[in-house]
């Protein structure tokens, strides 16, 4: 029987983590695999282990005393899964709920296809389960643009074909653990912290010759934006300027690493226009912190290196 580690990263989001765990607790049993639930408390202001253990005794909780970012938070769980000889790691956003059979479909898509390294489900919005959040992903190499399929479209059989795609979303991806070990890919790139770390890892997986599969029969529901959007409107909007910084910087990281020489002219031209329009938007909206965040992201995007891929954690990691 194969073993799957389901890994959730929580940062001050216990109110969505508990319903997520509740839905995972109702997964259909299988004679082909077993599941263990792992929650990473990624520096929450108030530790969450006790509240989780009161409701779900079998859930393993690790705590970092500081927010390490999504990539490093996931890596805590992935390292545990590798050391404990799990066959698969399933990364899952904590602001999701799942269908009872969603893991089975993902498992079958990889287990029966040795060339598939990662599988992703169809992801619908939590507030309206007829609307699509993600039904696969695209990448336009000529302009360096990532996009998702079906966003905010009504769910239909149009989005029900199993397809290969260039990248999988970190919202939910089942990963064959041999990619971390036997293929020598290492873990998620912690330089990225949050945003595009899933795309970067997916690109490395495909460079090894593995496929990434969209599995529409596997379905989950996503709140979307829970951890990054504030409930209060400010002069800078609802999204924190640091989110703009990470998103803009990591976009440059990704394109520097994976753009082929022959697409560089069109990629550079498109990105110049993109960042110019982004800065103009924040200037017109009078959002100086976000404007500065974009300037800083461009500078850091061209000066920083990828030397944090396998860094050791500076913050103590405790199993609760």
Same structural domain for residues 147 and 279? no
Same structural domain for residues 153 and 244? no
In a domain, 310, yes or no: no
Q: Nearest Cα to 12, choosing from 66, 54, 57, 53?
A: 66
Kindly state the helix (H) or strand (E) to which residue 78 belongs, with its residue range: helix 70-83
In a domain, 316, yes or no: no
Looking at residue 236, what is its pLDDT?
79
| Residue 52, domain CATH | 3.90.550.60
Specify the residue for token string 């006790």.
Answer: 50
Q: What is the mean pLDDT of the chain?
A: 93
**DSSP label at residue 154:** B
- Please check whether residue 246 is in contact with residue 194, taking contact to mean a CB–CB distance below 8 angstroms: yes
**pLDDT averages per 10-residue partition of the chain, 320 residues:** 98 97 96 97 96 96 96 97 98 98 98 95 97 98 98 97 97 97 91 96 97 98 72 77 96 97 98 98 96 96 63 70
Backbone angles phi, psi at 80, to 5 degrees: -60, -45
Same structural domain for residues 248 and 151? no
The residue ranges of DSSP E strands in the chain, in sequence order, are: 2-10, 33-42, 60-64, 88-92, 96-98, 116-125, 132-134, 137-140, 145-148, 163-164, 172-176, 211-222, 229-234, 237-239, 317-319
Domain with 187 in it: 2-227
Looking at residue 85, what is its pLDDT?
97
In a domain, 268, yes or no: yes
Looking at residue 308, what is its pLDDT?
43
Strand pairing partners for 7? Answer: 38, 91
Looking at residue 111, what is its pLDDT?
95
Q: What does the pLDDT look like over 163-189, one tens digit per residue?
A: 999 999 999 999 999 999 888 899 999
Same structural domain for residues 213 and 271? no
Looking at residue 99, what is its pLDDT?
98
Same structural domain for residues 191 and 281? no
Single residue among 196, 227, 258 that ends a domain in this structure: 227
Looking at residue 309, what is its pLDDT?
43
Looking at residue 47, what is its pLDDT?
95
Same structural domain for residues 176 and 237? no
How many domains does the chain divide into?
A: 2
Same structural domain for residues 153 and 22? yes
In a domain, 311, yes or no: no
């Amino acid at each position: 029987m194969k073993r799957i580690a389901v890994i959730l990263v929580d940062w001050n989001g216990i109110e969505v983590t508990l319903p997520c765990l509740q839905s995972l607790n109702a997964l259909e049993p299988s004679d082909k695999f077993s599941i263990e639930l792992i929650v990473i408390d990624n520096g929450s202001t108030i530790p969450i282990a006790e509240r989780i253990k009161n409701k779900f005794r079998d859930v393993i909780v690790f705590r970092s005393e500081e927010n390490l970012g999504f990539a490093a938070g996931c890596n805590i769980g992935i390292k545990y899964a590798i050391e404990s000889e799990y066959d698969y790691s399933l990364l899952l956003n904590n602001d999701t709920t799942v269908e009872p059979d969603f893991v089975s479909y993902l498992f079958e898509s990889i287990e029966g296809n040795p060339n598939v390294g990662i599988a992703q489900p169809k992801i619908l919005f939590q507030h309206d389960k007829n609307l699509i959040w993600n039904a696969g992903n695209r990448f336009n190499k000529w302009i360096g643009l990532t996009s998702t399929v079906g966003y905010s479209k009504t769910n239909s059989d149009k989005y029900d074909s199993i397809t290969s795609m260039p990248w999988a979303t970190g919202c939910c991806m089942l990963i064959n653990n041999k990619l971390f070990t036997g293929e020598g890919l290492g873990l998620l790139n912690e330089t990225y912290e949050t945003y595009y770390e899933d795309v970067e890892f997916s690109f490395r997986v495909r460079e090894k010759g593995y496929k990434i599969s969209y599995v529409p029969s596997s379905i989950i529901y996503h709140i979307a934006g829970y951890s990054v959007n504030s409930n209060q409107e400010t002069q800078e909007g609802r999204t924190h300027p640091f989110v703009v910084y990470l998103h803009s910087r990591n976009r440059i990281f990704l394109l520097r690493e994976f753009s082929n020489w022959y697409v560089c002219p069109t990629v550079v031209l498109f990105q110049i226009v993109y960042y110019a329009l982004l800065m103009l938007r924040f200037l017109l909206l009078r959002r100086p912190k976000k404007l500065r965040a974009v300037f800083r992201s461009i500078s850091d995007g061209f000066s920083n290196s990828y030397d944090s891929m396998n860094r050791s954690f500076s913050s103590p990691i405790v199993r609760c």
